[in-house]
Structure 1
Amino acid sequence: MHCCARWKRPNVPTSAIMAGLPGYNSLCRTWTNFSCVASKHVNTPGPPLAQFAHAPLLLLIIAFMMLQPLSTDLYLASLPGLASSFNVPPATVQLTLSLFVIGFGGAQLIIGPLSDRFGRRPVLLCGLVLYVAASIFCALAPSITMLIVARFLQALGCCAAVIIARAIVRDAYAPEHSVRVVASASTWLSLAPIVGPIVGSYLQVAFGWRAAFAALGLFSACVLAVSLKRMPETNLHRNARATELSGLLENYRLVLGSREFWAHALPGALSYGAIFSFISGSSFVLIRVLDVPTSWFGYCFAFGVSGYMSGTIICRRLLPTIGSARTFRIGSLTSLVAGCGFMAAVAAGIAHWSLMLAAMFLTMLAHGINFPIAQSGAVSPFPQQAGTAAGLMGALYMSIAFTVGTVVGATHNGTLYPLAIISCTLGLLIFASVRSIPAALSKAES
């Protein structure tokens, strides 16, 4: 009853600037509230979890998760510069994104089981060390081939940080409180894809493309240093059989054989592919085709990302009133309108940066509606295999993103047509896949 009185709130800066940031006050409240929750998980005196009330746990979780958006968004403005620096076509430069995505997606299938068997801390630290080293290799890469290889290795380290962050939430907090932790973290995480491209644009203008990777290396090195000092082991119940092949294959078979999994995972992955087409192609189209200054690119991309934030708000408002099935259909219809509208405008001869921003905003708005429903619908039927389901869904997302990114790079021809065709095709597929969800599943969701 009085456990909160025993704990002090961490020494988080409370300057006027910090206090004005979205979610700052809720972040401070979260520290106080969840210190009590952490203490309730301690069954014996002095286990590592007892340190959680004093460690900046939530800030560490945010830092781990922030590596993923920063790893892509911080250097988007540098993609055209990379092509010029190495004298290679856009399709080759796109591989620095596509290989990162495929590495991240594949690693999801093994990071979770490894941390279940060997513990969160060693897997996390190994991942962060790999990420720091790979970032340095990226910044010093003498060729595009070496940069692509370094980006793949960077993805493996990034995946370890993100997956372990999710596992830490499960370890440290009771289920009814973990949602609040994730919500608080998400408020801050939403700043990364907005601030990242803006900072990256200025780094590109001032120092060139290598500066973005140097910044990633510096940030991850700081995260590693704090983790070495303050991150205890949170997995108190290690599973020596977590990496046994027979058990893994059985879980994969169970999830992949579920119609409910595919009914949600496929449209969710297609929706992610739609936004990834803009992530991978927007810098070339805006900067090279539509002559938008490099220093402005970050603001253009931030406008698009604000669509995703708006979509999540709309989704949260619609779910209690009309249910997930109808909300999912609204999201898929928005995807269809975004893709087909973009294609129709380009076919009509419109080639303006405002059209590009409108299409990107609507596509990300649709994903903001689609993603929460797809994620929940694909994972919730498997309480005993939630990690496996989430990993398979993530791998599917990244596989489609890899395919889309490769196609975007290969078809770039100095016009808006390739991106518009891809966007329209994905919009049609998203709409069709959601409309084809069996009536029994839709009724159960509603």
Structure 2
Amino acid sequence: MSATEGGPHKGRFDVGFTLLLPLLLAAQPVATDSYLPALPAIAGELGSASTSLTLFVLAFGFAQLLCGPLADRFGRRPVLLAGLGCYAIAAFGGAFAGSVAVLAGWRTLQGFSMAAILVCARAAVRDLYPAHEGPHVMARGLTGLGVVGLMAPLLGAWLVQGAGWRWVMVAMALYAAVLFALCWRSFGETRRPMTGESSAPRGSTRAVFASRAFRAWASVAATTYGGLFCFLLLSPMVYIGYLGWSPAWYGWIPAGGSLVYIFSTTMCRSLLRRFGPMRTVRLGAVLSITGAVIQALGCWLMPHSAVPLLAGHAVYCLGHGIHQPCGQAGAVGDLPHLAGRAVSWSGFGMMMVAFCVGQFAALFVDTRFSYGAWPMVVPMLVAGVVLLAIAFLWLPRLAQPVSPTSPSSLKKDSTP
């Protein structure tokens, strides 16, 4: 059943998509979080697997720019099914890899496939729901992602210890195969047909960036993720290398962050119903900067204590769980006819901001930990300041009337 048959909120399809969305979004933590516990075992058998992880992330970032236009041109269903099929094949191929180079190749294909899955899932939200309901739906889906993000590393570690790292890849393949079967049966085409056109209108990318709402909300999503990515990238070195925690104890830190994220995305839905997206994002920005300030004060006053770092991280995660549903849904709110392209550029921006900021921050980490935890904390502090500026200065301007001569008022780039 397609979205055009009986409306987006009627019949079996809506219930099916409500259940499918968190499973589709969770393809990311399944491919990354469950893989992390396998890295030492892979290194022991094949050699360092860091290249496979880097290529996976880069493929995921750049592939979104291709998958968005493909989803707008050919529809969400064929691109999604192709992505799920390739995801399963790549994971299964990786399970039989005999060298690091072969494993890296399969992981690159898996990153490309994951981009297709996430782009189509997020675009389908805009296809099926009006703009004001998008943040609610995304918050519900991201809550499910948080649950999987909590379970994936634990299950990955259990498989590595009990059966070996190759079974982690097999489990990824089985997950994708089950999702493929569910989507083949339940996921109908959601893209709205274009009158007199077989593809997206010319100048579509320009139309996406001409949208003031896209620029603002995509910046929210990219900024908050950039800050969190620096924590994910550098926290092992801070807690294990600098503070001397054991790897087993450190593992509870990202797990605790996932718990806070689950609570925050659930809270986000209540806040949206009560206050609307503008005030909700402002509250999220206050939480983000508060968490970063707590960490900064800890670095300054208690440089060898983990307490302020943990407390600040929890508060920042509260803000992150508010910003992600609002930012991801808001970026496509004004662009229902270009949802695939808008989602792809928003996702690409998130990955590129995170990658660039993370690589720059990593330059200040040395073997003596001369700067303590500051390389991890400063990017989160900057992200909090930027989020405050967006929430209190940029987003309110979206409600102001646009000059007839401004680029975002020209519709010729966004009409067929």
Q: 1:221 aligns with which of 165, 174, 177?
A: 177
Which of 398, 410, 419 aligns to 2:351? It is: 398
Q: Residues 331 and 52 (structure 1 numbering): CA distance in 2 closer, same or farther, change over 3 Å?
A: closer
Q: Aligned AA for 2:320?
A: H
Please state how far the C-alpha of 1:139 moved relative to its aligned partner. 3.1
Alignment equivalent of 1:431, drawn from 385, 393, 397: 385
Structure 2 SS opposite 1:234: coil
Selected match of 2:120 from 141, 164, 173 = 164
Partner of 1:65: 25
Q: Does 1:202 align with 2:158?
A: yes
Partner of 2:105: 149
What RMSD in Å do the two structures reach over aligned CA positions? 4.1
Shift in alpha-carbon separation, 1:252–1:113, aligned structure 2, 3 A: closer
Contact 2:294 2:308 (8 Å CA) reproduced: no
Closer, same or farther: CA 50–421 of 1 in aligned 2, 3 Å: closer
Q: Is 1:77–1:297's contact at 8 Å kept on the other side of the alignment?
A: no
Distance 1:257 1:175 in 2: 18
Taking the aligned partners of 2:191 and 2:398, their CA distance within structure 1 comes to 36
Moved more, 132-141 or 205-214: 205-214
The aligned counterpart of 1:40 is 6
SS in 1 for 2:366: coil
| Cα distance in 2 for residues equivalent to 1:80 and 1:354 | 28
Pick the aligned partner of 1:117 from 54, 73, 86. 73
1:104 paired to 2:60? yes
Seq. identity, % = 31
Deviations 1:115-174 (A, max 9, x none): 343344432232122112221343344444444333221111112222333455566678
5+ residue gaps in structure 1? Answer: 1-34, 43-48
Q: After TM superposition, list the pairs within 5 Å mapping 1:252-291 onto structure 2.
A: 252-283=205-236, 285-286=238-239, 290=243
Aligned AA for 1:234?
Answer: E
In 2, Cα distance between equivalents of 1:232 and 1:267: 30
Residues 436 and 223 (structure 1 numbering): CA distance in 2 closer, same or farther, change over 3 Å? closer
Does the alignment pair 1:234 with 2:180?
no
Kindly indicate whether the alpha-carbon contact (under 8 Å) linking 1:169 and 1:181 is maintained by their aligned counterparts in 2.
Answer: yes
CA gap of 1:105–1:429, structure 2 versus 1, over 3 A, is same
Q: 1:298, CA displacement in angstroms? A: 4.5
CA 1:339/1:185 → structure 2, altered by over 3 Å: closer, same or farther? closer
Say if 1:438 and 1:340 are closer, same or farther in 2 by CA, change over 3 A: closer
Q: Alpha-carbon deviation of 1:377? A: 4.2
For structure 2, the residue ranges without an aligned partner over 5 or more in a row are 401-416
1:193 is displaced (CA, Å) by 1.1
User: Which deviations, in whole Å up to 9, do the C-alpha atoms of 1:182-214 show, x marking residues without a partner?
Assistant: 565444333111111222233344445444323
Change (3 A) 1:84 1:422: farther
CA distance in 2, matches of 1:232, 1:370: 28
Cα distance in 1, alignment partners of residues 363 and 145 from structure 2: 31
Kept in 2: contact 1:198–1:298 (CA 8 A): no
Task: Name the CA distance, whole Å, in 2 between partners of 1:236 and 1:259.
Answer: 23
CA shift in 2, pair 1:126/1:258, >3 Å: closer
SS in 1 for 2:26: helix
**Is the Cα contact below 8 Å between 1:329 and 1:434 reproduced in 2?**
yes
Shift of 1:260: 4.2
Change (3 A) 1:326 1:123: closer
**Structure 1 contact 139–211 (Cα < 8 Å) conserved:** yes
Deviation of residue 399 (structure 1)?
Answer: 1.1
Deviation at 1:271, TM superposition (A): 0.8
* Cα separation, 2, equivalents of 1:323 and 1:60: 26
Q: Which amino acid aligns with 1:223?
A: L
Work out which of the residue numbers 83, 86, 92 in structure 2 matches 1:136. 92
Equivalent residue number for residue 15 of structure 1: none
TM-score by length of 2: 0.76
Q: Is the 8 A contact 1:274 1:426 kept in 2?
A: yes
Indicate how the Cα distance of structure 1 residues 405 and 174 shifts in structure 2: closer, same or farther if over 3 A, else same: closer
Choose 114-123 or 320-329, whichever is displaced more. Answer: 320-329
> Deviation at 1:409?
5.6
Give 3-state SS (helix, strand or coil) of 1:379's partner. Answer: coil
TM-score, with normalisation over the residues of structure 1? 0.72
